[in-house]
């Protein structure tokens, strides 16, 4: 097919995420990608400010990741994980156990971040069922959170400002504390934990777990909250015998400035969910990592096994490339790299504060956010970014970027200048 034929067939038959069939948003054909650039089928190149939804931390077509994938494909591309194992899975699990906080040392692989969260929630419920407390099967979370698009995950996403309101009548009903108001850089206000504390005190006998995104709330609002809030949550979970699930799908592997966002508060969750950047964006893979007490508790009582088993869990290709990606990350000075990206984003996005349509500009690690006073017009703003030579995918009132870690200062300046320019042009509409 010609590029035009490809796009035409796409419009007729492909359903893109969060899109309408009758009123579709613009779609651009990608011919290839290298480093931080996407090459479109019409020959234009775009600097990718999204790292393909947080995942491509080393840039596209990295030779070491490609080599790992090719070598593994020549040996073993897939095998069921029921009753069988293989070196890429074992080596990857060893790395994850070594680098994750504290005593997280049981690794359950799955296909995607949403499934990793689903697995974590099932673990929590089954843990208390095995402990003879079957009534502890509900969850507590905080508003402005996002944990994925499958059903149980949707039940702990923000029920008002999230993306799943139309399912509210059929989702399980759980508890939502007020969102944290103390930002990452503000002085801690002890009153910020009051709503959460009241709910866990009142409902702990029926709660299996608290689930939250540590420090950085992603698609629920791109908010950065105070580490002390997370520390207080950990203390309250311990006090009231409730597991803590840290959803680090978006924040894991350096994005917030620490290897894991939990490290900002030196907190060890009972269960951690990882995905997105795990393979450097090369393949889909996720992991749910639990403390041994969780696994031993589940295994001690009938049925004596954890009741979950994805067909493609621990896929050898994905595990091999994930191992190579983590080696690249860990052998680099990733914290210094992220600090530099943070500095460039702060400097480059600062002019947006002068625009009357901008409510806030905030940066943490390799995450830059411009919050507007009203939702963007995607049909207009997306082509405007493409015309400036950058790929930025806003949603709602948020124009945000999370660039690949390999993006140099010159490209970061182009990226942030394009955002400021487009938003200035939009402010006159």
Q: What is the CATH number of the domain that holds 372?
A: 3.90.1150.10
- Residue of 9, 18, 94, 235 with catalytic role: 18
Q: Is 276 a catalytic residue?
A: yes
Per-residue pLDDT of the chain (429 residues; tens, 9 = 90+): 899 999 999 999 999 999 999 999 999 999 999 999 999 999 999 999 999 999 999 999 999 999 999 999 999 999 999 999 999 999 999 999 999 999 999 999 999 999 999 999 999 999 999 999 999 999 999 999 999 999 999 999 998 877 777 888 889 999 999 999 999 999 999 999 999 999 999 999 999 999 999 999 999 899 999 999 999 999 999 999 999 999 999 999 999 999 999 999 999 999 999 999 999 999 999 999 999 999 999 999 889 999 999 999 999 999 999 999 999 999 999 999 999 999 999 999 999 999 999 999 999 999 999 999 999 999 999 999 999 999 999 999 999 999 999 999 999 999 999 999 999 999 887
User: pLDDT value at position 164?
Assistant: 79
Q: What is the pTM of this model?
A: 0.97
Task: Point out the domain boundary residue: 280, 310, 330.
Answer: 330
Alpha carbon 65 to chain centroid distance? 21
Tell me: do 287 and 410 sit in the same domain.
no
User: pLDDT value at position 54?
Assistant: 95
Task: Point out the domain boundary residue: 330, 365, 381.
Answer: 330
- Residue of 60, 127, 129, 146 with catalytic role: 146
Q: Is 18 a catalytic residue?
A: yes
- Output the CA torsion 39→45→47→48 (10° steps): -30
Report DSSP letters for 96-148, one per residue.
Answer: HHHHSSTTEEEEEEESSHHHHHHHHHHHHHHHHHHTT-TT--EEEEETT----
- Residue of 136, 258, 276, 388 with catalytic role: 276
Tell me: do 176 and 255 sit in the same domain.
yes
User: pLDDT value at position 160?
Assistant: 82
Q: Name the helix (H) or strand (E) containing 239.
A: helix 227-239
**Of 241, 239, 277, 280, which Cα lies nearest the Cα of 260?**
277
Tell me: do 381 and 315 sit in the same domain.
no
Q: Is 205 a catalytic residue?
A: no
Residues in the chain: 429
**Of 345, 405, 391, which Cα lies nearest the Cα of 370?**
345
Q: How many CB atoms lie within 10 A of CB 245?
A: 27
CATH, residue 312: 3.40.640.10
Tell me: do 340 and 312 sit in the same domain.
no
Tell me: do 391 and 309 sit in the same domain.
no
Give the Cα separation of 392 and 399 in Å (integer): 8
| Pair 248, 295: CB distance under 8 Å | no
Peptide bond into 303 cis (omega under 30): yes
Tell me: do 92 and 195 sit in the same domain.
yes
Tell me: do 95 and 42 sit in the same domain.
no
8-state DSSP, 343: H
User: pLDDT value at position 412?
Assistant: 98
How many independent structural domains does the chain possess? 2
Tell me: do 40 and 71 sit in the same domain.
no
Question: Tokens 């405007």 appear where?
Answer: 384
Q: Is 247 a catalytic residue?
A: yes
Tell me: do 154 and 302 sit in the same domain.
yes
User: pLDDT value at position 51?
Assistant: 98
- Residue of 111, 247, 270, 411 with catalytic role: 247
8-state DSSP, 83: S
Tell me: do 15 and 44 sit in the same domain.
yes
Task: Point out the domain boundary residue: 330, 361, 386.
Answer: 330
Tell me: do 197 and 80 sit in the same domain.
yes
Q: Which two tokens stand for residue 245?
A: 């699930």
User: pLDDT value at position 70?
Assistant: 98
Phi/psi of residue 271, nearest 5 degrees: -140, 135
Phi/psi of residue 50, nearest 5 degrees: -105, -10
Tell me: do 42 and 179 sit in the same domain.
no
User: pLDDT value at position 17?
Assistant: 93
Q: Which two tokens stand for residue 307?
A: 């009741």
Give the Cα separation of 92 and 352 in Å (integer): 42
Strands 207-212 and 138-142 come out as parallel
Q: What domain range is 215 assigned to?
A: 66-330
């Amino acid at each position: 097919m010609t590029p035009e034929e490809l796009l035409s067939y796409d419009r007729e038959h492909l359903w893109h995420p969060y899109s309408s069939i009758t009123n579709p948003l613009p779609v651009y054909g990608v011919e290839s990608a290298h480093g931080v650039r996407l090459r479109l089928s019409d020959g234009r190149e775009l600097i990718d400010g999204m790292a393909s939804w947080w995942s491509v931390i080393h840039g596209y077509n990295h030779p070491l990741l490609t080599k790992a994938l090719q070598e593994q494909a020549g040996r073993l591309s897939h095998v069921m994980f029921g009753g069988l194992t293989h070196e890429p899975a074992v080596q990857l699990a060893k790395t994850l156990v070594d680098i994750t906080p504290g005593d997280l040392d049981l690794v359950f692989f799955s296909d995607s971040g949403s499934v990793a969260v689903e697995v974590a929630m099932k673990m929590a419920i089954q843990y208390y069922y095995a402990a003879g407390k079957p009534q502890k099967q509900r969850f507590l979370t905080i508003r402005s959170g996002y944990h994925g698009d499958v059903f149980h995950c949707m039940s702990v996403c923000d029920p008002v400002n999230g993306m799943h309101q139309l399912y509210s009548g059929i989702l399980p009903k759980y508890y939502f504390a007020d969102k944290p108001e103390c930002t990452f850089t503000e002085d801690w206000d002890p009153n910020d934990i009051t709503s959460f504390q009241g709910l866990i005190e009142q409902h702990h006998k029926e709660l299996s777990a608290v689930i939250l995104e540590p420090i950085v709330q992603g698609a629920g609002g791109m908010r950065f909250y105070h580490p002390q809030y997370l520390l207080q949550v950990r203390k309250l979970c311990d006090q009231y015998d409730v597991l803590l699930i840290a959803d680090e799908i978006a924040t894991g592997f350096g994005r917030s400035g620490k290897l894991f966002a939990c490290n900002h508060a030196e907190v060890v969750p009972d269960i951690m969910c990882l995905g997105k950047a795990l393979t450097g964006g090369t393949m889909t893979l996720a992991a749910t990592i639990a403390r041994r007490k969780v696994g031993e508790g589940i295994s001690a009582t009938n049925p004596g096994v954890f009741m979950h088993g994805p067909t493609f869990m621990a896929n050898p290709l994905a595990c091999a490339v994930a191992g190579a990606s983590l080696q690249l990350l860990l052998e680099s000075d990733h914290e210094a790299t992220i600090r530099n990206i943070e500095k460039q984003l702060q400097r480059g996005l600062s002019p947006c504060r002068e625009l009357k349509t901008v409510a806030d500009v905030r940066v943490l690690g390799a995450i830059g956010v411009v919050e507007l006073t009203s939702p963007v017009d995607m049909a207009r703003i997306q082509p405007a970014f493409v015309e400036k030579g950058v790929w930025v995918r806003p949603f709602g009132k948020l124009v945000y970027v999370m660039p690949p870690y390999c993006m140099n200062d010159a490209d970061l300046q182009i990226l942030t200048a394009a955002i400021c320019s487009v938003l200035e042009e939009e402010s006159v509409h």
